[in-house]
Amino acid sequence: MSSHPFDPVAASRTLVKNGVRFVVIGGFAGRLWGSPSVTNDLDICYARDRANLARLAGALKELKARLRGVGEDVPFHLDARTLEASDHFTFATRAGNLDILGFPAGSGGFEKLVRTAEEMELDRGLRVPVASVEDLIRMKRAADRPKDLIEIEVLSAVQDELERGE
């Protein structure tokens, strides 16, 4: 599959249109809070109930999602049952890279994240829940990758600015 430009608005719009229950996490969520760090994928944490998995599968089909890093000849049946079998998938879509996680490290999953998420406007009329800065920091700490340790410092500075009302 050829690489498509990163378009988190198009991906989010498709998810919302299909009624998918999700929270934006990862680097794009950090950007929405004010982090200057650049990302090339949209990470979401999604509700794992059967109805939401079916809606998510529909949205992924609409986005023409394919497993990222896997040859096109590798069979992959995109449906609720497949999504239920695992909780972490990385896709290449017509809106760029999309990573979906049911239980990101350090998060407690969708139900916990959505409680403290803040709804933000991505585009006219397109509002999505975005994980709190505190939750983003917690997930970055749990992931413990070198790039996450750097982002913890950036997000901590963003958090300080938000607390000061800047």
**What tens digit of pLDDT does each residue of 21-76 get?**
999 999 999 999 999 999 999 999 999 999 999 999 999 999 999 999 888 888 88
In angstroms, the CA 63 to CA 11 distance is 7
CATH of 8-160, one of 3.30.70, 2.60.40, 3.40.630, 3.30.460: 3.30.460
In angstroms, the CA 140 to CA 26 distance is 8
Residues 6+ apart with CB under 8 A from 97: 6, 40, 41, 42, 68, 90, 91
Kindly report whether the global pTM for this prediction surpasses the value 0.85.
yes
How does residue 1 score in pLDDT terms, banded at 50, 70 and 90? very low
- Residue 165 above 90 pLDDT? no
Residue type, 95: A
Domains of the chain: which residue ranges? 8-160
pLDDT tens-digit readout, 77-132: 999 999 999 999 999 999 999 999 999 999 999 999 999 999 999 999 999 999 99
Residue 154: how many other CB atoms lie within 10 Å: 17
